[in-house]
Structure 1
Amino acid sequence: MTDTAPAPTDAPTEVSPKPTTPSALHEIFDIVRTVGLGLLAALCLHAVLFQPFTIPSSSMEPGLVTGDYIVVSKYPYGWSLASLPFHMGAPGERLFGRDPARGDVVVFRLPRDPKQTWIKRVIGLPGDTAQVKGGQLFVNGVAWAQTPLGPTQDHDAPWRTVEQVRETQTSGRSYVTYDGGPGLPGDDTPPIIVPQGQYLVMGDNRDNSLDGRFDRSVGVGLLPAGNLMGRAEWIVASWEPGASLFKPWTWVKLQPGRFLRRIR
């Protein structure tokens, strides 16, 4: 008698459906959509809330020096086409426009060439009459106090000796300016009447700033409200000329003591 082995039977197997992979076209669409949404969010952030800038000149010394990397808030004065991170033609009127305060440090599009962005301090508001006499500011007939703080070397031009002067507005707001000496261009001006919808702006480095004291063909002239981009708020970091936040190999050129400083 022999044992007979049972006939083998096939064990049931589960067949999983083959996973589907998105097509190359679908993947490309997802990438484009993600990048597009990211760019749109960045554009909205820069146009509506904040935008970074790098100080390119010494006209706002000593408060701001060449190489300072600053943050500008866009919302304090309302918005116009000037608020966009790129040039879009004539700035036009502002939406929800509000006047800056005297003494605010503002970034704006240069009236004669809106592709350029400049930074200055607001001195005169609509309806004001301002004049510089012997290097001292008078607004609506009242002199702004000046307190000499002694000589120093210009931060960006150390071979140049300047006088540090604390300027105090009638409101009590104060900041330090540079004076290059008597009798220089801009030390004496005729009365400047600021019309509605415009502002008078000046650099703190008074003898090294082509600002509202000078005709628009060479300086700023009177600044239209629509050209305002925003208010300078903070110095985030600072590098010597030639260095950049986006060039790590240049970070050794940091300017110490100029990090996270509020702009006054």
Structure 2
Amino acid sequence: MADKAKQDNGIVETIKTIVYALLIAGVFRTLFFQPFWIPSGSMKDTLLIGDFLFVNKMTYGYSYASCPSIRIQRLGINIDAKDICGWFDGDNTRLFGGEPERGDVVVFRHPVSGQDYIKRLIGMPGDKVQIKAGLPYINGVPVKQMPDGVFEELKEPQGPERRPPSCENDPVGLGGVCVKSRAIETLPNGKSYAVLNIGNRSEDNTGIYTVPEGQYFFMGDNRDNSIDSRVGPARRGVGFVPYENLIGRADRIMFSSGGRSMFYFWTWRGDRFFKAIE
């Protein structure tokens, strides 16, 4: 009987340890840093498919979107941030709120679907943003762009959806070299980063977007392969993003793998480990 009691106590202690560990991990993820895998090529070449980073939640303070959404399709688990912190939603404010800066790479909650997106902040509240021939204009002034060669990658299936990249030099067969034009873009506040271009696409010429107060305008660095604020939610885009939907700022890549699994060590990209995000 004594042995059975010890065994039962051991099981209880193990369960307690697991519960405590999950609670600590949940608090850590909610308050400080959230892990994020890059699933698509919309932020190339700043972020590549398979980059792993932590999102700094302390930068902008906290809102309902700071609570994690837990989605595990295989187990049928779909717990949304609103299910946990919905009481904190609705006023577009934040606790200990900090203002994002133009040019920040931000993870935010899609205004309609609730999915997490990562894009670059281009337009601030009150700005007028327009795209002409692929070049952003902010309040009537073109953003500076300087040609910077080309970005090359193999034409092969990438990411969870195994889709090959679009190329400026298409048609390119699988295994061929896929090329995109690269430029260094500099925003009015001096923030510089690389952007990629394929050619003339529908979102390369737009009307004028007037960013409402308390909302923001985002674009992907891979301009012709990004679903962002240039298209509204009615057309399966993002549109303007409310302040309370910001989750955090992406500051540094911690790990990167170009394969289908992080366990394929031969696909690890060691030159991207701990790389700062410009």
Shared fold (TM-score, shorter chain, > 0.5): yes
Matched, 1:127 2:141: no
Within 1, Cα distance between the matches of 2:207 and 2:65? 30
Q: Is the 8 A contact 2:41 2:47 kept in 1?
A: yes
Within 2, Cα distance between the matches of 1:80 and 1:152? 37
Q: Is the 8 A contact 1:110 1:117 kept in 2?
A: yes
Q: Is the 8 A contact 2:151 2:196 kept in 1?
A: no
> Which letter maps to 1:199?
Y
2:182 is matched with: 164
> Which letter maps to 1:88?
A
Match among 231, 236, 239 for residue 214 of structure 1: 231
Match among 50, 69, 77 for residue 33 of structure 2: 50
1:144 is matched with: 143
Cα deviation digits, residues 61-110 of structure 1 (max 9, x gap): 01001000111111111112211221222654422222210000001111
Q: Is the 8 A contact 1:194 1:200 kept in 2?
A: yes
Structure 1 unaligned blocks of 5 or more: 1-18
2:62 is matched with: 79
Structure 2 unaligned blocks of 5 or more: 70-79, 159-164, 166-175
Q: Is the 8 A contact 2:61 2:95 kept in 1?
A: yes
Within 1, Cα distance between the matches of 2:29 and 2:216? 24
Within 2, Cα distance between the matches of 1:152 and 1:25? 60
Q: Is the 8 A contact 2:259 2:268 kept in 1?
A: no
Match among 205, 208, 220 for residue 222 of structure 2: 205
2:23 is matched with: 40
Q: Is the 8 A contact 1:61 1:177 kept in 2?
A: yes
* Secondary structure at the counterpart of residue 160 of structure 1: strand
- For normalisation by structure 1, the TM-score amounts to 0.84
- C-alpha deviation, 1:169, in angstroms: 1.1
Q: Is the 8 A contact 1:60 1:204 kept in 2?
A: yes
Percent identical pairs in the alignment equals 40
Q: Is the 8 A contact 2:216 2:240 kept in 1?
A: yes
> Which letter maps to 2:214?
G
> Which letter maps to 1:83?
S
Matched, 1:113 2:125: no
* Secondary structure at the counterpart of residue 97 of structure 2: coil
Larger Rg: 1
Within 2, Cα distance between the matches of 1:96 and 1:198? 18
Within 2, Cα distance between the matches of 1:213 and 1:154? 26
Cα deviation digits, residues 128-157 of structure 1 (max 9, x gap): 111111111111222210001123325763
Larger mean Cα displacement after TM superposition, 89-98 or 121-130: 89-98
1:97 is matched with: 97
- C-alpha deviation, 1:120, in angstroms: 0.2
- C-alpha deviation, 1:35, in angstroms: 1.8
Aligned-residue RMSD, C-alpha = 2.1
Q: Quick check: which one's helix share is greater?
A: 2
Q: Is the 8 A contact 1:213 1:219 kept in 2?
A: yes
* Secondary structure at the counterpart of residue 186 of structure 1: helix
- For normalisation by structure 2, the TM-score amounts to 0.80
